[in-house]
Chain A
């Protein structure tokens, strides 16, 4: 149980394009989903928290117009990196939680912007 998937697992795009990453909880209803970013050899940095049906809460320093988050259902959240640039290249990881359960993490999406 408690499986979280992400799609795609990796993506390469050209500078200026937008990229959408999906996060799904496969066997439970995720009341809260989280999006993290991880640079090579660094820890995870929380970008935003989203509750189903509500606007996402962004961490300080994270551009909400740059990283659009939608949590339309209890099993799906999406992160769209708009007008991507090389500095947005990173490993993006989502996690999902039902109530007070531990957060279960997706396998991550590696984004490379050329």
Chain B
């Protein structure tokens, strides 16, 4: 069975600090996807990124960057120069198997203080 571990339950930073959210997954699947979703206080889940298991290239999108390393089964997410609007719960999500159901991590609550 798949498992996603987000060891950091809560992180608090001051605006403009860089912050990295950790994600480690377990699976026996050879083909799978990994996602990050953001859930602001409003509750709506916002899709941030999807990576497939064959693409370990790191990705940068503005202040967001993702580091995918199959060797350590990790898919970490870094926010550079954090802003108050980044405050939210961030979920790392695994999708694999024949039906590609999503397995959510427990989430990391990020609070960015002014």
Residues of A within 8 A of B (CB): 34, 42-44, 46, 49, 91, 93, 95, 100, 102-108, 110
Q: Contact flags (1/0) for B84-110 with A, using CB distance below 8 Å? A: 000000010000000111101111000
- Tell whether A103 pairs with B43 under 8 Å between CB atoms, given A43-B91, A43-B107: no
Cross-chain pairs A/B with CB under 8 angstroms, 17 sampled:
A34-B101, A34-B102, A43-B104, A43-B106, A44-B45, A44-B102, A44-B104, A46-B102, A49-B99, A49-B101, A91-B43, A93-B43, A102-B47, A105-B45, A107-B42, A107-B43, A108-B45
Closest to B35 in A: A102
Contacts of A43 on B, CB cut-off 8 Å? 91, 104-107
Q: Which of B102, B105, B107 contacts A103 (CB 8 A)?
A: B102
B44: Cβ under 8 A from any A Cβ: yes
A8 to chain B, nearest CB (A): 13
Q: What interface size band does chain B fall in?
A: 10 to 19
- Tell whether A46 pairs with B101 under 8 Å between CB atoms, given A102-B50, A107-B43: yes
The answer to whether B104 and A108 touch across the interface, beta carbons within 8 angstroms, is no
B26 to chain A, nearest CB (A): 16
The answer to whether A105 and B101 touch across the interface, beta carbons within 8 angstroms, is no
B37: Cβ under 8 A from any A Cβ: yes
Expressed in whole angstroms, the Cα–Cα distance for A95 and B45 within the complex equals 10
The answer to whether B43 and A108 touch across the interface, beta carbons within 8 angstroms, is yes
Q: Which of B44, B47, B91 contacts A44 (CB 8 A)?
A: B91
Expressed in whole angstroms, the Cα–Cα distance for A42 and B107 within the complex equals 8
